Structure 1
Amino acid sequence: MAWHLEPVSDPTDVRLTAFRDLTDVDLRRAIEATNGLFMAEGLLVIERVASMGLAIDAVLTAPKWLDRLSRILPDFSGPIFVADEEVLRQVTGYRVHRGALACVQRPAVQPLSHLVSAPGDLLVLGDLVDHTNVGLAMRSAAALGVAGAVLSPACADPLYRRAVKSSMGAVLALPWTRAENWPDDLERLGARSVVALTPDPDAPLIDEVLRRSGHSDVALVVGSEGPGLSAGEFARCQERARIAMDAGIDSLNVAAAVAVACYALRMRRTP
């Protein structure tokens, strides 16, 4: 193992700039967008990153995780900064519990036309603002066979640290793109049936809607956590669908709703 270990004891060390203030969304957006980076947190996520061949620039970890890290990145030649847990906390802004952080080069985002031209169901995320919800939704989509995801321009970044962590790296396995002309791009999803997921009790159940679509590909559209889909977004969808609810509860968290709906998408193709 030809590692390049660099001990760090000063939390203000300039070598750790890429790892700094990970809880400051605005600052991270500026740092990561400028440098084309994203942060992978935890050994399991770093292992997924490595298995996909993505370029890792640097790693920050505590000494106790070096043995496990050596099995995940045996041939890594970049700097591995090693610091005690208090230094990690001061650098990142929180207590790092998942072993390590890796600074990774962002993969290129494919154009909408490429994603739309490939077969398969799509998940379309409106203006979701919570990174954890975006990560969980994309993890469910990937796990349940959805072919890709389309994000509105205002949707939270799926490669922000919390989104990557909550998805356990699944955001890296699901092809995704950003719509540039929103909500008009909802009408540019190919031959798919565009279905808006809504808590509206007057909407038909999702199983009924999917039965009508047969085996045709579907684009499942979900809105933001608070207001949901706008009138303009609904107008560009061909169908509305709801999930059956009970106990006087009118809706699920958006990430849970996506999981249920993606399972319904999968089951309609199951003999």
Structure 2
Amino acid sequence: MARVVTVDDAADPRLADFRDLARADRRPDRPGGRGLVLAEGTVVVRRLLASPYPPRALLGVARRLEDLAPDLAGADVPAYVTDAATMAEVVGFHLNRGVLASADRAPAPDLAALLAGARRVALLEGVNDHENLGALFRNAAALGVDAVLVGPECADPLYRRSVRVSMGHVLRVPFATSGLGAAVTALRDAGFTLAALTPGGDPGALAELAGLERVALMLGAEGPGLSGEALAAADVRVRIPMAGDVDSLNVATAAAVAFHATAGPAGSAS
């Protein structure tokens, strides 16, 4: 059971995981920081507590921690309860959601093991917007994508904003960080067809992917899209058929359409 501890001093050192989150140079979820995972709000905190990420502590107002009581029954962590004003002083801004949780990162999965049981995966190159990345992971969870491979130029999926926008689903969709060459090799070794989403692709090819046993959907950043190297590595180039003179969609939206189109006759993946 979580240990509920009342705190009324914003300078209490036990609240270090949550301090000054508005200051970019001190946020613990930033690259170069302490590498923590931070969840905001009861829904996302609940998903964190059910995830492979080991929780460290919670901070919240009494009402929000009471809402989480059933989820905290099996959690051996401190839950610091305070008022909204003290919480805002600690965090550095007013938090409407009223509760935060911190966790350590889970060990990165082995790439081959991650792909072994997957049918559909997303391979991301240069997706460097945290909100797009969070939305993409939420779409992946909703539409049955088995895993996500994140290129080194992508934003951090476990950055606080990505976790929040994903509604915590980034904590349940398996992912690994991999360079393009290693990812392509691993996908080919595992029998995947690599499909690059690009405005210059075949609008009729997307639907055909649903009948394939294993598909990796390659998605690039807003604006530049996939690199020449990524396009050259693809087995097929596809695009989403669109009306008028619109040639592209937001990457998270495009991903959702592609995830749905390739789900197969049952409407979902494995």
Count the aligned residue pairs: 266
Write the mapping of 1:124-139 to structure 2, written as runs, cut at 5 A: 124-139=123-138
Q: CA deviation at 1:118?
A: 2.5
Please give the secondary structure, in 2, of the residue aligned with 1:199. strand
TM-score calculated relative to the size of structure 2: 0.88
Distance (whole Å) between structure 2 residues aligned to residue 230 and residue 2 of structure 1: 48
Q: CA deviation at 1:210?
A: 4.2
Aligned residue in 2 for 1:50: 49
Distance (whole Å) between structure 2 residues aligned to residue 75 and residue 188 of structure 1: 38
More divergent stretch after superposition (23-32 vs 85-94): 23-32
The runs of 5 or more residues in structure 2 that have no matched partner are: none
Write the mapping of 1:33-44 to structure 2, written as runs, cut at 5 A: 35-44=34-43
Aligned residue in 2 for 1:148: 147
Query: C-alpha deviations, 1:170-200, integer Å up to 9, x for none?
Result: 1122111111x33453243121110111123
Distance (whole Å) between structure 1 residues aligned to residue 152 and residue 175 of structure 2: 12
Distance change (3 Å), C-alpha of 1:17 and 1:267: same
Q: CA deviation at 1:129?
A: 1.1
Write the mapping of 1:247-258 to structure 2, written as runs, cut at 5 A: 247-258=244-255
Please give the secondary structure, in 1, of the residue aligned with 2:102. strand
Distance change (3 Å), C-alpha of 1:6 and 1:174: same
Please give the secondary structure, in 2, of the residue aligned with 1:259. helix
Distance change (3 Å), C-alpha of 1:212 and 1:150: closer
Amino acid at match of 2:123: V
How large is the RMSD of aligned CA atoms in angstroms? 2.5
More divergent stretch after superposition (120-129 vs 18-27): 18-27
Aligned residue in 2 for 1:99: 98
Amino acid at match of 2:186: R
Please give the secondary structure, in 1, of the residue aligned with 2:173. coil
Aligned residue in 2 for 1:89: 88
Amino acid at match of 2:202: P
Distance change (3 Å), C-alpha of 1:103 and 1:208: same
Aligned residue in 2 for 1:263: 260
Distance change (3 Å), C-alpha of 1:75 and 1:114: closer
Write the mapping of 1:89-238 to structure 2, written as runs, cut at 5 A: 89-179=88-178, 181-189=179-187, 190-200=190-200, 203-205=201-203, 207-211=204-208, 214-238=211-235
Aligned residue in 2 for 1:3: 3
Q: CA deviation at 1:120?
A: 0.8
Amino acid at match of 2:212: H
Amino acid at match of 1:226: G
Distance (whole Å) between structure 2 residues aligned to residue 269 and residue 215 of structure 1: 13
Q: CA deviation at 1:28?
A: 3.1
The runs of 5 or more residues in structure 1 that have no matched partner are: none
Query: C-alpha deviations, 1:104-139, integer Å up to 9, x for none?
Result: 121111021212332311111111111111111111
Distance change (3 Å), C-alpha of 1:24 and 1:124: farther
Distance (whole Å) between structure 2 residues aligned to residue 177 and residue 4 of structure 1: 35
Please give the secondary structure, in 2, of the residue aligned with 1:188. helix
Alpha-carbon contact 1:209-1:239 (below 8 Å) kept? no
Please give the secondary structure, in 2, of the residue aligned with 1:198. strand
Q: CA deviation at 1:245?
A: 1.4
Query: C-alpha deviations, 1:241-260, integer Å up to 9, x for none?
Result: 11111243221111111111
TM-score calculated relative to the size of structure 1: 0.87
Distance change (3 Å), C-alpha of 1:231 and 1:173: same
Distance change (3 Å), C-alpha of 1:68 and 1:196: same
